[in-house]
Amino acid sequence: MPTIVVEVMPKAELLDPQGKAVTFALARLGSTAPQVGTYSEVRIGKRFELTVDEATEAVLAEVKQFAEDIFSNSVIEDVVSLYVLEDPALAGSAAVSL
Amino acid sequence: MRIGVVTFPGSLDDRDAQRAVRLAGGEPVALWHGSHDLDGVEAIILPGGFSYGDYLRAGAIASLSPIMSEVVDAAGRGMPVLGICNGFQMLAEARLIPGAHTRNAHQQFIRRDQRLRVENADTAWTTGFVEGQEITIPLKNADGRFVADDETIKRLEGEGQVAFRYIGVNPNGSMDDIAGVSNKEGNVVGLMPHPEHATEAGFGPDTALAMSSGTDGLTFFTSVIEKALIK
């Protein structure tokens, strides 16, 4: 069965305290990290997976509505992607762009 | 005056809100999230807590519950609605007030007796205060950082919709130190701190006079009741 994926990120201009805490944690790893890079920012978002019988256009349109109205709050978050993870047995349903 | 207090799964302060209504001289009416029945109340309180475990976003799932469609309709007709803490988050998620809430800037849950300045004494829940009055009521939250885009903040400030502002300390990183806001009409008010926990001497914040004697929160409830009596 196909799975519809919706990904939501906190708005770029807003403070993401969770991501900031992880950024600091990575910096603290310092030279003990296996590969020391400069990770100037980490941001944490959400991923929703909706398993459906069939990812029809109508279903995708409804999920897009859910993504905008329920899965995200447009004041603080953006829906950054919405796509279908194809079951190899089922072909034909394409990812929709936002 | 019959004032409804909605209980959601995970509400914590619904009974404190009912008690506050009683102490102010009103009649508290318990309302249920899963119902469409407002039971003829004349005002509504959305209480604090962690409805639905704060899953998705604080207040988000509660804002989709059956009773909320009635609350939105009643608010549109001008009924006074007060959202406290989690209730404030629900008001924002239901778009009854502008803005939204994120995790506190410092990532910590915070509980303190918080000083506030009453910025608007004309809302349904603040007429008993005078503009500029300083009050102290308890604050306790994890997702209390009020945010909105610049244009919205400017509009809130310009049109007197900032009802309360943190003074002394900004406890959660809220923009412009905003502690509470109202809708344009002033019948819907939301704030992070908890007026219902400062309504009875002996059980409130400390004051200069005596320990736990603060009752600044009572005025929220007497304001709405007195206004109804005048009508």
- Say if A75 is an interface residue toward chain B (CB within 8 Å): yes
B60-87 mean pLDDT: 98
A17 in contact with chain B, both atoms CB, cutoff 8 A: yes
pLDDT of residue A87: 62
Paired tokens of B7:
């209980």
Q: What is the pLDDT of residue A59?
A: 97
Distance of CA B116 to the CA centre of its chain: 13
Write down the catalytic residue from B70, B93, B119, B194. Answer: B194
Instruction: Say yes or no to pLDDT of B143 above 90.
Output: yes
Distance from CA of B109 to the nearest CA of A (A): 13
Closest by Cβ to A14, choosing from B64, B98, B147: B147
Helix spans in B24-81 (H)? 66-76
Query: Residue B137 and residue B200: Cα distance in Å, rounded?
Result: 12
pLDDT band for B104, please (50, 70, 90 cuts). Answer: very high
Give the confidence band of A91 by pLDDT, cuts at 50, 70, 90.
Answer: very low
Answer whether residue B163 shows pLDDT above 70: yes
Q: Inform me whether the pLDDT recorded for A93 exceeds 50.
A: no
pLDDT at B132 over 50: yes
Catalytic residue among B33, B70, B85, B93, which? B85
Reference B45, options B10, B20, B76; nearest CA is B20
By Cβ distance, the residue of A17, A71, A75 closest to B103 is A17
Q: What is the pTM of this model?
A: 0.92
- The pLDDT-based confidence of A25 (bands split at 50, 70, 90) is confident
What pLDDT band is residue B103 in, cutting at 50, 70 and 90?
Answer: very high
- B168-213 residue pLDDT tens: 999 999 999 999 999 999 999 999 999 999 999 999 999 999 999 9
Band (pLDDT 50/70/90 cuts) for residue A60 is: very high
pLDDT at residue A5 in the model: 97
In this prediction, residue A97 carries a pLDDT of 47
Domain ranges of chain B: 2-230
In this structure, of B18-22, B102-106, B158-162, the range with the lowest mean pLDDT score is B102-106
**Contact by Cβ (8 Å): A44, A18:** yes
Contact B174/A at CB under 8 A: no
Cα–Cα distance list, B187 to A2, A55, B82 (Å):
46, 44, 8
If one compares B76 and A40, the residue with the highest pLDDT of the two is B76
Name the CATH superfamily, with its identifier, for domain B2-230: Class I glutamine amidotransferase (GATase) domain (3.40.50.880)
